[in-house]
Amino acid sequence: MRLKVFLKQRMRHERKKRRTDEENGSYCMSENPFEKVYEPCILSVHCSKMPILFSGRYFKYSRNVSQSRWIIDDERMGEASVEEIIGGNILPACLGDSYKFHAAGREDIDVRMLGSGRPFLMEVQNSRKCPSQQSLTEIEEKINNSEKKLVGVKDLKFIGSECWAMMREGEAEKQKQYAALVWISRPLEEKDCNSISSMKELKILQKTPIRVLHRRSPLERERTIHWMKVEKIKGNAHYFLVHLCTQAGTYIKEFVHGDLGRTTPSMGSILGCRAEIIQLDVTDVKMGDS
């Protein structure tokens, strides 16, 4: 009974307000507020779990495999990607919706990742299952024993979210070791080997390489070459291997050939001749706490 009285009073108030608005010229058509009350409503709730994280180290044995999925104009670059090989094996085990791949740095598609491997995190979205360590070991074995042997994995494990920050902090402090096959325009001499090997904590200046200027800001960065060691190649004095340890973010290809003077000093300027890089491998990635 009280509700009926309230509704009648409310309707009289609305009619009076409408007449007043019409007289003032401010009335506009609008939906009756009571229609909203009596219209049926649909409540939709979507639930998803927090992402879960896995860590490990990966190896890349092919010079035709990119780190992440690389598609240009609907055409795949390379034979496969580290991201897809690892993620494609972990995602089904988690019954998740999707995954994101994060690595401590990256290497070019034509550069192998050897040695102790590169640290990575795999983030699985809306996982409905957390695989056991036994399952993760089986995933490792499946990847490592694949017929093509493009990619390898080790130390795959489930981790907490705090490890994400730890990896980012370690990445900023990391050192990387390489083995580069180099060609020079004159025969390598013994004094060249001694000169290169004696250089410690060499400071170099690198402008953003020409090959990546289309996607990176034009900056000049100081980087450190911690040490270098020359390994001669029997039968051809124009070729040699140089093993080197550098600060994170050093462009090794440009350090060898100089990038038209954009990297100084370079291997070519140190030896006083033309130098070209033939092949490059990453042989170790040392994080801040390793």
List the catalytic residues: 108
C-alpha triplet 91, 92, 93: angle, nearest 5°? 90
CB 101 within 8 Å of CB 86: yes
CB 202 within 8 Å of CB 224: yes
Listed residue (251, 214, 244, 213) closest to 226, CA to CA: 244
Question: Which residue type does 205 have?
Answer: L
C-alpha triplet 256, 68, 122: angle, nearest 5°? 120
The answer for 258, left when phi > 0, alpha when psi is -120 to 50, beta otherwise, is left
C-alpha triplet 105, 152, 125: angle, nearest 5°? 65
Instruction: Please name every residue paired with 204 in a beta bridge, in sequence order, or none if there are none.
Output: 223
What three-state secondary structure class fits 96?
Answer: coil
CB 64 within 8 Å of CB 79: yes
Please give the DSSP secondary-structure letter assigned to residue 198: T
Report the b/e string of 78-108 with b at 16+ CB within 10 A: bebbbbbbbbebbbebbebeebebbbbbebe
Rounded Cα gap, residues 97 and 126, in angstroms: 6
CB 267 within 8 Å of CB 204: no
Please give the DSSP secondary-structure letter assigned to residue 128: S
